Amino acid sequence: MATESTKWKITDFPDQTGRTAVVTGANSGLGIATVDALARAGARVILAVRDVKRGEAAAANVLGAKGSLEVRRLDLADLASVREFAAGWKGDLDLLINNAGVMNVPESRTKDGFETQFGTNHLGHFALTNLLLPHVTDRVVTVASAAHRWSGASIYFDNLNLTGQYAPMVAYGQSKLANLLFTLELQRRLTEAGSPVRALAAHPGYAATNLQSHDANFVRRLLMRLTNRLIAQDSQSGALPTLYAAVQDLPGTSYVGPDGRGESRGGPTLVGRSQAASDPVSARRLWTASEELTNTTFPSLPRATAPTRA
């Protein structure tokens, strides 16, 4: 259940001059809305996108930016692309926003043979985070979804690719539950390592984006097109929970969503998560499986240093 509204608005967004952020899936929807807010506030923002030309076109539409914009290729459905992106990173990274995702798509596989939604939404971001973490100085924000609460949402540890039992909504629910379990275990490891970096999650509620247009079911696509017009928030409003998680002084594992009825719309506030998304045993088990699948591990990190006393 959502807590009392913070009444936080984009006009409350603090200055981001001197900060560097990576936003995945940044060429449309929540991603470009997030980029726009960060750049207008003065941040250097890297748009990590699969299609560079589309990313450059999106960046060209960000007007009034005080910070700089850069487009780099990243295909989360291809671990070689993830490794190439991370290998090319130099210097500090204040903020990593794991925003990209696919939703309810027909059954397919990533280039590495993973079920597309689990492979893109979770495994790609898992690998990217581990590889970039030595550069991260502030926080990692992963965009989850209320879909982690869908009836039957579970991590199918004995069949993560859902081979022979694929259903688009089941796969999406699994991937979004994985996002929250990933955040939970990432924060545990960061704390254990003595790192000051924080892992947080956010969800947009019901926001009208391109995500719904790829649904495998024709009838659902039509219904979503209608509800996008009548009910949904715009992408700028949907990005507010992510932006709130990115800049507010919140503890690790915080989960931010809209404060309205059913967490479908409204201002950003701290929200709850399902019991399944709060299970540390499942979180550790998922982490181990993800390490094996991606061949990436939690890196060695410098410990936080205590402030010098006068």
**Domain containing residue 271: CATH number:** 3.40.50.720
Among candidate residues 156, 166, 172, 244, the one labeled active-site is 172
For 188, phi then psi, to 5°, come to -60, -45
Whole-model pTM? 0.89
CA 267 to chain centre: 18
- Does residue 304 fall inside a structural domain? no
- Does residue 307 fall inside a structural domain? no
CA dist 44 and 208 (Å) reads: 26
- Does residue 4 fall inside a structural domain? no
- Does residue 299 fall inside a structural domain? no
Nearest CA to 242 out of 85, 87, 24 is that of 24
What are the pLDDT tens digits along the chain (310 aa)? Answer: 444 444 788 888 999 999 999 999 999 999 999 999 999 999 999 999 999 999 999 999 999 999 999 999 999 999 999 999 999 999 999 999 999 999 989 999 999 999 999 999 999 999 999 999 999 999 999 999 999 998 668 999 999 999 999 999 999 999 999 999 999 999 999 999 999 999 999 999 876 555 544 444 555 455 555 554 545 567 788 899 999 999 999 999 999 999 877 777 788 999 999 999 999 999 999 999 999 999 999 999 877 764 444 4
Q: Where does 202-259 have alpha helices with state H? A: 218-230, 235-238, 240-247
- Does residue 2 fall inside a structural domain? no
CA dist 111 and 118 (Å) reads: 13
- Does residue 298 fall inside a structural domain? no
- Tally the domains of the chain: 1
CA dist 54 and 29 (Å) reads: 13
pLDDT of residue 303: 76
Q: Please tell me what DSSP assigns to residue 56.
A: H
pLDDT of residue 308: 45
Distances (CA, A) of 107 to 2, 165, 182, 220, 222: 34, 10, 23, 16, 20
- Does residue 310 fall inside a structural domain? no
CA dist 35 and 39 (Å) reads: 6
- Does residue 177 fall inside a structural domain? yes
Query: Domain of 273?
Result: 13-292
pLDDT of residue 210: 57
Would you say the C-alpha torsion 295, 98, 177, 105 has a positive or negative sign? Answer: negative
For 202, phi then psi, to 5°, come to -150, 155
Task: Tell how many helices (H) and how many strands (E) occur in the chain.
Answer: 10, 8
In sequence order, the 6+-apart residues with CB closer than 8 A to the CB of 270 are: 2, 3, 250, 254, 255, 256
In sequence order, the 6+-apart residues with CB closer than 8 A to the CB of 164 are: none
**Token pair 């923002």 is at which residue?**
45
**Going edge to edge, which strands form the sheet with 198-202?**
69-73, 44-49, 20-24, 93-98, 136-143, 198-202, 255-258, 268-270
User: Looking at this protein, which amino acid is placed at residue 302?
Assistant: P
Q: How many CB atoms lie within 10 A of CB 192?
A: 9
CA dist 1 and 20 (Å) reads: 33
Whether 156 sits among the annotated catalytic residues: the reply is: no
CA dist 115 and 297 (Å) reads: 21
